[in-house]
Structure 1
Amino acid sequence: MNSLTDTNKSIVRRFNKEVIEQGNIQSFQELMDDHFINHSAPSGSDNGPNGMIYTFNHILRPAMPDLQVTIYEQIAEGDLVTTRKNISGTHTGELMGIKATGQRISIDVIDIVKVKNGKFVEHWGINTLPTVLAQLKK
């Protein structure tokens, strides 16, 4: 790594693989600032670190135990890293009130993460989870 932006991109890749894909709590604690803010958290939900790990380890992973993260592109400038990725897996557990269907789920995501001192401090994102949920309900 020869620059801060390369280092920050590596931190975001590590978070995606170790935290989102593998559910590694130790990595989460190493990479997440105590004052982290998720600007994309649903209204009324926890927008701090606990809300973020809850989403991965209590909503997505139980619904898709074979969850995989595929990173397509990353662009970094200063302390911001934008990642276009896909979260996929087989719907073998309940997902937000929808019983397992056995179908393959594919959620497209674009995230912007602010990284300071090697930790996530802010997050903004959009994803296709609402569309996926609507399709599973049919």
Structure 2
Amino acid sequence: MSATPALKVVERILHEGFAGGDVTVVDELCSPDLIEHQFGLEGTGEAAIAKIKKGITEVHRGMPDLTFTIQGWAERDDIVWVLAEGAATNTGPFFGPPTGKRVRFTVIDVARVRDGRIVEHWGVPDRFAIMTRMGRLGAPSDGRPSAAL
């Protein structure tokens, strides 16, 4: 199945925004009335857009070589679900000082896209995987606080 216009919008936010560090893509691809549900970015309109731009800046500063690979996606009506794998080296501040460690993690994004713009978004980056692989959380067997729930 070939990429749809809605999938291309989400891919651009991931690749150009979070991986590439380009915050201007947010203004182009997100509705001014955006409803954002992702933990840490929650909000609506200008406030949500400002949080997303700040998030892009922080992620790119901490992991400037970040890449995403789309593992799968589905679409129904105006909603697209995307499963992506992120990979990066933590060379800048991100949840603490740089560790130099390579991390791989999963991201699930659900976006309602209308007229080529995201109007509503839910995102679930696997922060436990990121934090554990950066050495900020313990593995389930090493006695430190674990990422397992």
Shared fold per TM-score greater than 0.5: yes
Q: Answer with 1 or 2: which has the greater Rg.
A: 2
Say whether the 8 Å CA contact 2:19–2:64 is kept in structure 1: no
**Residue matched to 1:118:** 116
Residues 1:73 and 2:72 are matched in the alignment: yes
Number of aligned pairs?
A: 131
Q: Please, which runs of 5 or more residues in structure 2 have no aligned partner?
A: 139-149
Amino acid at match of 1:33: S
Using the size of structure 2 for normalisation, the TM-score is: 0.78
In 2, Cα distance between equivalents of 1:94 and 1:34:
30
How big is the shift at 1:15?
2.0
**Residue matched to 1:130:** 128
Secondary structure of the structure 2 residue equivalent to 1:108: strand
Change (3 A) 1:26 1:125: closer
In 2, Cα distance between equivalents of 1:52 and 1:63:
15
Using the size of structure 1 for normalisation, the TM-score is: 0.84
**Aligned-CA RMSD value:** 2.0
**Residue matched to 1:100:** 98
In 2, Cα distance between equivalents of 1:101 and 1:11:
32
Q: Please, which runs of 5 or more residues in structure 1 have no aligned partner?
A: none
Deviates more, 1:80-89 or 1:122-131: 122-131
> Which structure ranks higher in relative contact order (CA pairs < 8 Å, sequence separation ≥ 6)?
1
Say whether the 8 Å CA contact 2:104–2:129 is kept in structure 1: no
% identity of equivalent residues: 24
